Structure 1
Amino acid sequence: MFKLLGALHRSWCSWVAGKSPGCISRIWFGPLPKDSKWVKPGRVTYIEDDVKKTADIVKIVDGVVVVLFNKSREKLIFVRQFRGSVYHGVCSGRNVVMSEGEADLQQFPPEMGITLELCGGAVDKHKSLLEIAQEEVLEECGYQVPTESLQHVFDYRSGVGASSGAMTLFYCEVCDEQKVASGGGVDTEVIQVIELPVEEARKLVQTGAKTNGGPSCMMGLLWFFLHKASN
């Protein structure tokens, strides 16, 4: 599927809304380094009903997610970005073997790995979950909000199979006056802020809908339409 290329001169760039938030000129795959601070593989062994069982697991960091609603314009706020895991998952399909080498960007354009997500981030700082969520809203979407405006919705797990991170969902209403920056992430992050009218966002959770976003986005939207959006 992925072939080694001697010299890769292709590039894939688009700054048009609805396309990629950035420019990706090369993608390649390799083994997980032992010093990764984000992912730690392992195995759990246990005895159940006198039967020895094992489960191969991946330890991942916890996270926060924020359903962000702009009351000034009655729009839900999302972020779009390239996710390497999604790109690999789409390209490799049901094959569980980790590919190595260069990706063919003609056959597998980087847009395959672009996701639509709610604002959020990893719990990787010595701060409260509220403070981390507040920070992510500013960094990713450009809104300065007090922690008091973040409503705790519920806690859940990102998965229960190979990986399982503790996730906390918040809801926050903002107005145009709280927009103090353009957002887009920090450091090397390349994030595009997207605002959708409520009825357009509702299509994301209708029967038969397909998105590249994770379950946190779907769960957050379903909660919003159940508890906040007028019918």
Structure 2
Amino acid sequence: MEQINDIQVVPCTSSNYLKPFRVHYSQNGTKKSWDFMRTHDSVSVLIFNTTSHCFVLVKQFRPAVYMCEWERTKPKAPDSGEQAAEEKEGAAVGGGETPPGSVGMTYELCAGLVDKADLSLEEIARQEVLEECGYDVPVAKLRRITSYRSGVGVTGAKQTMFYAEVSDENCVGEGGGEPQEGELIEVVKVPLHEAMTFAYDESIPKTMGVIFSFIWFHNNMSPKYKISTNV
């Protein structure tokens, strides 16, 4: 998953996942404008294995994260016009050392887009847990934690977070996502007693969903298992 090469930056003229817009509006008599992306809502699932007392996360390559890191090492163009022309032509990334693919890897909750109108949020979450992590969890066993707006400056999409307890008996596959959809997902287990250290370790690239859900578990579920979460 970390062998990244043949990078090419090209204009995004169409996408099934996001659409850029510019909105003009008036706020308290002041005319304003804002650029935003229309995207799908999503679900995420904090998975806790009660057999091994560990959290089940996913680890995958995120091109957006990788490109942010690449920008840090990219030689600066003499002026913005030249840079824009380069991106318009879809020039291959060159000049300077290309970062290793590992800088684009992030630890995340199992998650997926809400893009199936005929399925409930719980049913979509159940599918994602099965596809990404290999556990078969009944919809009735999914506990809704909360929902929130993510990326409010750019997208404003809503993510709904669930909690699922699983055991080794619920494991029916290896997970890893759907290869036909280009998913390359590694299933990662974080022991409960290491969870909060993991959450606050800035050297481990992770989403805010991981940090928030670990704190939620510590506040709401830890007494049930009588195990310290290293806070």
- TM class by shorter chain equals 0.7 to 0.9
**Length, aligned pairs only:** 209
TM-score, normalised via structure 1 length: 0.83
User: For residues 105 and 27 of structure 1, what CA distance do their matches in structure 2 show?
Assistant: 14
Find the residue that maps to 1:24 and give its secondary structure: coil
% of aligned pairs identical? 34
Q: CA deviation at 1:91?
A: 2.1
* Greater helix fraction, Structure 1 or Structure 2: 2
SS in 1 for 2:172: coil
Q: Is the 8 A contact 2:21 2:36 kept in 1?
A: yes
Partners in 2 of 1:32 and 1:139 — Cα distance?
Answer: 31
Deviations 1:79-134 (A, max 9, x none): 00100011012222499988652267954111000010111111111211000000
Instruction: State the partner residue of 2:122.
Output: 130
Q: Does 1:76 align with 2:55?
A: yes
| Unaligned segments of structure 1, at least 5 residues | 1-21
1:203 is aligned to 2:182: no
Residue 14 of structure 1 corresponds to which residue in structure 2? Answer: none
Q: How far off its partner does 1:158 sit?
A: 1.0
How far does residue 33 in structure 1 lie from its aligned partner after superposition? 2.8
Q: Which residue matches 1:190?
A: 184
The CA RMSD measured in Å over matched residues stands at: 2.3
Higher radius of gyration, 1 or 2: 2
Equivalent of 2:24, from 45, 48, 51? 45
Q: Which moved more, 1:147-156 or 1:33-42?
A: 33-42
SS of the aligned residue for 2:222 comes to coil
The amino acid of 2:148's aligned partner reads Y
Query: What TM-score comes out, normalization by structure 2 length?
Result: 0.83
Give the superposition deviation at 1:46.
Answer: 0.9
Against the structure 1 CA distance between its residues 145 and 218, is the aligned structure 2 distance closer, same or farther, given a 3 Å change threshold? same
Note if contact 2:4-2:100 (Cα within 8 Å) is conserved in structure 1.
no
